[in-house]
Structure formats: C-alpha cells, structure tokens
Amino acid sequence: MTQRLTLSPSFEYNKSVAEVHGAAPQNFLEMYFPATYVLPRYWAVTARYEAKVDFENDDYWTHSAKFAITKQFKRQPLSLSLSMKKSFDGGDKEVQINFVTAYYFR
C-alpha cells in the first residue's frame, strides 16, 4: 500500500422496526468495497463495488459498481464530485450519473 491508496470496506445492516400503512418490512445487508487513489493537486479517483442482500425478498442479491472523480479546492472549503454507477442486475437504468458539491464548515 502507499500513502495515496485507501481501502475502506463497510457494511450496513438495516431492519425496519415498524411499518407505516401496510408498507413491506425492510431487512437487508449492504456491503461496500471502495478503493480511493489520491492524485496530485487535490484530485482523487474512487472505484467501488457494492452488493446488497434483501432478506425479505428470498435473499435476493444485487450487484453494482461505481466510479467517481473528485476535486477538492485548496483555498475554499469546497469539493466537486462526478460519479457513474452501473448495476449488473439489469433494470431500467443503464447507468446512473451524479454530480455532488460539498461545502465544508470550518
């Protein structure tokens, strides 16, 4: 590993405690496996594999990958990020593209 590469897997387990107006119960596990490489001049690229197991839907698995490029500004507490997410399970969307701005309060 180098000081520029970060691997940060995470897991989230979600279970509903109450359903409103007959909504279906939620019970699933989400797993994220990102790798971020820090580039010069406050740039970074991230590749992430995502998996989700829906325990209420016959243990159905979904898989996707996400790629993002981020620029943090040196003098302003601001960053811009452009990401592209591709699901490997079909569906209506071929790809999802997001643009995110973040302002950091100092």
pLDDT, averaged per 10 consecutive residues of the chain (106 residues), comes to 87 91 90 97 97 94 97 95 94 91 92
Collect contacts of 101-104 with beta carbons under 8 A, ≥24 apart. 102/78, 103/77, 103/78, 104/77, 104/78, 104/79
Tokens of 4: 């520029």
Q: Which residues of 6-30 are buried (b: 16+ CB within 10 A; e: fewer)?
A: eeeeeeeeeeeeeeeeeeeeeebbe
Whether the model clears a pTM of 0.85, i.e. scores above it, the answer is: no
Quote the pLDDT of residue 90: 76
Q: Can you tell me the distance from the alpha carbon of 70 to that of 49, in angstroms, rounded to the nearest whole number?
A: 17
